[in-house]
Amino acid sequence: MKYTIKTFIKDKNETVSSVANKLKLSRPTFDSYIEIYEDNKIIPKQIYQKVFDGLFADDRIPTDVFKGRLEMYEMILTKGRRDEDIDFISRRADRVSKLMNRLRENIKYEKIDKDLYDFIDVIIQRYSDNAIYQMVQFFLRLYGKKDVNQTTNLQMAFFSELFHTFNELDQNEIAFNYLDWDHYRQTCQKARMKEELRQVELEIDRLKNEQENLRRQLYENRIW
């Protein structure tokens, strides 16, 4: 049987209509674009040519990568950000899928360190903070992911201090400084209080939403 985009979509546990909706296309338009693409012709709208290339050019693309790209494209098209670089978005979706696969593999092991996942969450949420950003840049260079020669003067000063500290840690030669420790401890306590407050606020929001849903159900006579 000839392999088509529609069978490919079904193999990825999606429906043709759902993919059309996510790409902000009517079903007839989506069908016509499929026909054009399968005939090796150019889709009239350039952005959809790039979207189709990202989704359907390789029929060996893993399901999680396909779904990741589809989600990214839906976000772009929904928000009207059609000038986004589709190739960049595809690469970003692939990186997210790769990270998720590694997390799934890690979850299979019994000795899971919850702190690792909390740390990843912190990195994602606070990456724009300069301290977090520079720490990430330090480790990317330390483990060969980035070229150490592409470093600013400020980073050189910061990275050398970090490297010196980690070397002392490895050799158990770190000296205790009470003032630094006290400052660090107080900063951590404030951060902990903010996090606990955030969790309380999230729980309040959850309860409010639950209350609103119950009210709606009562109003629609779904309970009584």
Domain boundaries along the sequence of the chain: 5-105, 113-175, 180-224
Please give the average per-residue pLDDT across 159-175, as a whole number.
84
How many CB atoms neighbour CB 5 within 10 A? 20
Given a contact cutoff of 8 angstroms between Cβ atoms, the answer to whether 209 and 203 are in contact is: no
Please give the average per-residue pLDDT across 192-199, as a whole number.
90
Q: What is the pLDDT of residue 74?
A: 86
Nearest Cα to 8, choosing from 58, 68, 65? 58
E strands present in 84-157: none
Q: What is the DSSP string of 174-188?
A: PPP-HHHHHHHHHHH
Q: What is the pLDDT of residue 104?
A: 66
Q: What is the pLDDT of residue 1?
A: 42
Q: Which residues contact 55 (CB under 8 A, 6 or more apart)?
A: 61, 66, 69, 70, 73
Please give the average per-residue pLDDT across 78-88, as a whole number.
62
For residue 95, the one-letter residue type is: R
- Measured distance CA(82)–CA(89) in Å, rounded: 11
- Measured distance CA(67)–CA(100) in Å, rounded: 12
Q: What is the pLDDT of residue 78?
A: 77
Please give the average per-residue pLDDT across 94-103, as a whole number.
69
Residue 82 above 50 pLDDT? yes
Half-sphere exposure (Cβ direction) of 175: Cα atoms closer than 13 Å: 3
Please give the average per-residue pLDDT across 146-161, as a whole number.
89
Share of the chain above pLDDT 70, in %: 82
- Measured distance CA(171)–CA(166) in Å, rounded: 9
pLDDT tens digits along 172-184: 777 788 888 888 8
Please give the average per-residue pLDDT across 113-119, as a whole number.
78
Which residue is associated with the tokens 């119950």? 214
In the 8-state DSSP scheme, what is residue 175? P
Q: Which of 5-19, 52-66, 182-196 shows the highest mean pLDDT?
A: 5-19
Please give the average per-residue pLDDT across 145-150, as a whole number.
88
- Crossing angle between the packed helical segments 86-107 and 63-78, to the nearest 10 degrees: 130
Residue 113 above 90 pLDDT? no
For residue 92, the one-letter residue type is: R
